[in-house]
Amino acid sequence: MPRQGQKGRVRRRAVLACAIVLLPVGCDSRPADVEVDLSRRTTERTPSEAGVLRFAIGTMLTPRETAKEYRRLAALLGTRTGRTIEVIQRPSYPETNSLLESGGADFAFVCTGAYVVLMPSPEILAVPVVNGKATYTSLILVKQSDSAKDIADLLDSSFAFVDPLSLTGRIFPEWSARKAAGPGRRVFSETTYTHSHSRSIDLVATGRVRAAGVDSLVFDHMLQNAPARVAGLRILQRSQQFGIPPIVASPRLSPELRKALRAALTLMHLTPEGREVLAGLGFERFVAEPDPKTYQGISDMRQSVLAGGNRRP
Amino acid sequence: MKVPGMRLRLLLTLFVPLVIFAPITLAVVYRAIETAITEQADARGLAIAREISAVVEDQVLTGQAFAAERDIADIVREQPDVRYAFVVDSRGQVFAHSFQGGFPSDLLAVQGAPRPASGVLRVSLDGRIVHDLAAPIVGGVAGAVHVGVSARRAEDSSHAVLLRLSLIGVGIVLVGLSVAWGVSSRVARRIRHIAVVAEAIGEGNLAARVADPARDELDHLGASLDQMGTRLAQASRDREQAFSRAAEAQRLAAVGMLAAGVAHEISNPLTGVKHCLEAIRSSPYDPDKYARYHELMADGIDRAQHVVRQLVGYARPRPLDLAKLDLGSLVRRVAELLGPTAQRAGVRTTVSVQDSLPKVLGDRAAIEQVVTNLLLNAVDAMPEGGDMFITVERSDGHARVRVRDTGNGISQENLAGLFEPFFTTKGSSNGAGLGLSVSRSIVQRHGGRIDVASARGEGATFDVLLPFGGAIEAAAGQEAAR
């Protein structure tokens, strides 16, 4: 019997040794976390849920920067209105305008140049106030090392536009250059559309283009939050004051929601969280009724540019 | 139970650990490599997901689904082991994907499924395992990119590694077996050789040598054995020389002692004869003196002749005349013959013979001489009288004649030389000192022996042991051969 017991121990030890040897080599036979039947397919996108308000934002910043900066604004507006706010971006101002006109967006933050195209149809819900003013300017930027003294020195140089409808990023700079160049003369040797003021700033900073026209609000915001990106730049020319880009309502948005959104926007600065959101955007507050005069003359300036500088605003 | 041989035990000692630890080591190595391959494949999948995230970020944020799908398809097309890639937006909806013919609705479950620490989800696409890696878009604000990397490629790589490791393992085991076999055989052979040499030395072949130049422990052991053999051979030669010198010295001593004894024993009567002749010469015509000295001279010459006869009998004994003897009767007759002598010395003699004692094979005259010597010695040992007990009996397969006296006994120093020629304690007038030497020689020629036991003041006991039967016949054979 002791011999049998010893054999049993030896056998158990042999099995244990084999298990130790084979255990690490064993195939990974864990069950899958997700089972997918490839025969079940769907081709349709689920539409937005009913009641969701779609907030279109013109890409004055890069889409990434816009998404980051305006996400909290959208969330706060959703809280104040009791609705889910979906942020929508489009690569160009005309597409954003198209969303507004087609009802693809319920309200939108649009560039002044894009707003002027839509006037008088879209109702302004509110405009931001920066440094006590609801106006902004267009800045012609060059590198600090650039020898240009005014925009006439930039003629026949490369230039970055933001968007065909951008007031500060295309309309004013081109209008100003055409005025300096005189009728019939080519103003810039090469132009490129960046669809973002911040991208235009980066192109000048990196020397890809000699100059660019940008939104003063974006430049000041960048100067405050990312000074290194603008450290090597110089403002060659500053435009007159223009009406600041507004938040406008789609013609299809109900009066109640317009009222609710306007209230949420204009009362935002009264709460700490509202002030925090405003500070993130570089705004002091929103006001409901901007000075109409600040938007006057912009449409003529645009028409002058479209006509090749033959018309004067 | 049969104990395995040295070679087998050495082989097992070397090979078994190799057989156990080589697979364990290779298994651990394989596991590490497999993990590294899998992690590398997952890292690559994650890198692809991040690349897609960077490429389609603006498209997702600005709603350009078709452009995103085009870019995703371009990237996936260049990666054969990427089974799919898709983007979910901030609403959790599929924004763009790489699938042809619609998106598999089950796959959306990867969004909500809890992910392990590795961040890898195992997805079964119709039974084929895919590792799902996810990369956020704008930190998750705009959704995420999912990439499915086939586990097959990593498994194929792992299996290729496993195959190579298995071949290496088999190679290691085979090489290990060969080396273990070679080492164990060589060690066992050398140990066996050393053992053979040790046995040869033990059997007396002091010239046997291992003769391996010292390189390792076994060589040192062999060298030590060789040194021991050399020392043993030298010691043996020294001992033989010492024995030879001792034997020569002993022989010379014996010759000297014999010469001295002979000279002494013969010189005394010759001196007496010389004195007698001188006395006769001084009175040549005195018939009385002549007659008296003539008798004394005759006695002296008899004594010298007696000594010479005994010496001749000791040095060149006559052949034994063997016959079957009744030892009891023989002893009784000798005791009777010496009875008057014992009585004159005041010694009482008691003879006791065991009944039906078998006869012994022996030379009657020689045995009578032995018994006579012992009885006379006993009588001489009791000059002032005493008792002499003679017994004949069987003892330990022998016939024993025991002669015990109640004399003064023999001292220890005298016991040592008792049977040497010319050894005597009686003085020169009472014996030549050859009686016990001759008696022992006779008994030994019969195949027997003489023992003596005595202490000072307690008498002495002499035992003559003669063999019965075959032993006697063997002694007879030896005697005949002599």
In terms of residues, how long is chain B?
482
Q: What is the pLDDT of residue A17?
A: 54
For residue A184, the distance in angstroms to the closest alpha carbon of chain B comes to 37
> With an 8 Å Cβ cutoff, is A237 touching chain B?
no
Please provide the DSSP assignment of B86-142 as one string.
Answer: EEE-TTS-EEEE--TTSEEGGGGHHHHSPP-TT--EEEEETTEEEEEEEEESGGGTT
Distance (Å, whole) CA A283 – CA B119:
39
Chain B's closest residue to A86, CA to CA, is B91
Exposed e or buried b per residue across B354-376, where buried means at least 16 C-beta atoms within 10 angstroms of its C-beta: eeebebbbbbeebbbbbbbbbbb
Distance (Å, whole) CA B86 – CA B108:
10
For residue A94, the distance in angstroms to the closest alpha carbon of chain B comes to 13
From residue A161, alpha-carbon distances to A173, B61, B465 in Å are: 8, 21, 146
Query: Chains A, B: CB contacts under 8 A, how many?
Result: 105
Q: What is the pLDDT of residue B424?
A: 72
Sheet holding A53-57, edge to edge: A85-89, A53-57, A107-109, A247-249, A123-129, A285-287
Query: For B91, which of A23, A63, A86 is closest by C-beta distance?
Result: A86
Give domain limits for chain B: 6-168, 319-481
Q: Which residue in A33, A39, A68 has the most chain B C-beta atoms within 10 A of its own C-beta, making it the best mutation to test that interface?
A: A33
> With an 8 Å Cβ cutoff, is B107 touching chain A?
yes
Q: What is the pLDDT of residue A48?
A: 63
User: Does A45 sit within 8 Å of B102, measured CB to CB?
Assistant: no
CB A169 within 8 A of CB A161: yes
A42 chain-B contacts, CB cut-off 8 A: 102-103, 105
Q: What is the pLDDT of residue A5?
A: 58
Q: What is the pLDDT of residue B347?
A: 93
User: Does B121 sit within 8 Å of A64, measured CB to CB?
Assistant: no
> With an 8 Å Cβ cutoff, is B200 touching chain A?
no
Q: How confident is the model at residue B176 (pLDDT cuts 50, 70, 90)?
A: confident
User: Does A64 sit within 8 Å of B138, measured CB to CB?
Assistant: yes
User: Does B125 sit within 8 Å of A36, measured CB to CB?
Assistant: yes
Q: How confident is the model at residue A259 (pLDDT cuts 50, 70, 90)?
A: very high
> With an 8 Å Cβ cutoff, is B22 touching chain A?
no
pLDDT at A240 over 90: yes
Q: What is the interface pTM, i.e. ipTM, of the complex?
A: 0.76
pLDDT tens sequence across A274-313: 999 999 888 999 999 888 889 988 988 998 888 875 444 4
For residue A164, the distance in angstroms to the closest alpha carbon of chain B comes to 17
pLDDT tens sequence across A35-44: 888 888 887 7
- Residue whose C-alpha is closest to residue A162's, from A120, A216, A125: A216
> With an 8 Å Cβ cutoff, is B430 touching chain A?
no
Helices (H), ranges, B316-363: 327-337, 339-344
For residue A151, the distance in angstroms to the closest alpha carbon of chain B comes to 32
Residues 24-53 of A with CB under 8 A from B: 24-25, 30-38, 40-43, 45-46, 48
pLDDT tens sequence across B337-369: 888 888 988 999 999 999 888 888 898 888 998
CB A97 within 8 A of CB A165: yes
Q: What is the pLDDT of residue B112?
A: 77
A67 chain-B contacts, CB cut-off 8 A: 61, 138, 141-142
CB B154 within 8 A of CB B41: yes
> With an 8 Å Cβ cutoff, is A62 touching chain B?
yes
User: Does A64 sit within 8 Å of B105, measured CB to CB?
Assistant: no
Cβ partners under 8 Å of residue A220, min gap 6? A130, A282
Q: How many CB atoms lie within 10 A of CB B93?
A: 15
What are the residue ranges of CATH 3.40.190.10 in chain A? 53-130+245-298, 135-243+302-306
User: Does A32 sit within 8 Å of B61, measured CB to CB?
Assistant: no
> With an 8 Å Cβ cutoff, is B389 touching chain A?
no
Q: How would CATH label the architecture of A53-130+245-298?
A: 3-Layer(aba) Sandwich (3.40)
Q: Which residue has the higher pLDDT, B427 or B394?
A: B394
pLDDT tens sequence across A58-80: 877 677 777 877 888 999 999 99
User: Does B129 sit within 8 Å of A32, measured CB to CB?
Assistant: yes
Chain B's closest residue to A58, CA to CA, is B62
pLDDT tens sequence across B44-72: 999 999 999 999 998 998 888 999 999 99
User: Does B122 sit within 8 Å of A67, measured CB to CB?
Assistant: no
User: Does B27 sit within 8 Å of A25, measured CB to CB?
Assistant: yes
The CATH code that applies to domain B319-481 is 3.30.565.10
The residue written with tokens 């060298």 in the block is B223
CB B122 within 8 A of CB B129: yes
Give yes or no on whether B6-168 and B319-481 have one common fold.
Answer: no
Chain B's closest residue to A75, CA to CA, is B141
Q: Kindly tell me the sign of the dihedral angle through the C-alpha atoms of B235, B241, B245, B246.
A: positive
Distance (Å, whole) CA B407 – CA B285:
49
Cβ partners under 8 Å of residue B305, min gap 6? none
Distance (Å, whole) CA B401 – CA B354:
11
Name which of B54-68, B123-137, B236-250 the model is least confident about: B236-250
Chain A's closest residue to B161, CA to CA, is A25
Distance (Å, whole) CA B68 – CA B58:
9
A68 chain-B contacts, CB cut-off 8 A: 138-139, 141
Threshold 0.95, pTM exceeds: no
Distance (Å, whole) CA B420 – CA B314:
11
Q: Which residue in A36, A37, A38 has the most chain B C-beta atoms within 10 A of its own C-beta, making it the best mutation to test that interface?
A: A36
> With an 8 Å Cβ cutoff, is B103 touching chain A?
yes
> With an 8 Å Cβ cutoff, is A67 touching chain B?
yes
A24 chain-B contacts, CB cut-off 8 A: 27-28, 30-31
Mean pLDDT, residues A261-269: 95
User: Does B23 sit within 8 Å of A33, measured CB to CB?
Assistant: no
Mean pLDDT, residues B460-471: 82
Secondary-structure class of domain A135-243+302-306 per CATH = alpha beta
Distance (Å, whole) CA B333 – CA B316:
27
Chain B's closest residue to A91, CA to CA, is B62
In terms of CATH, what superfamily is B6-168? PAS domain (3.30.450.20)
Exposed e or buried b per residue across A275-294, where buried means at least 16 C-beta atoms within 10 angstroms of its C-beta: eebbebbbbbbbbeebeeeb
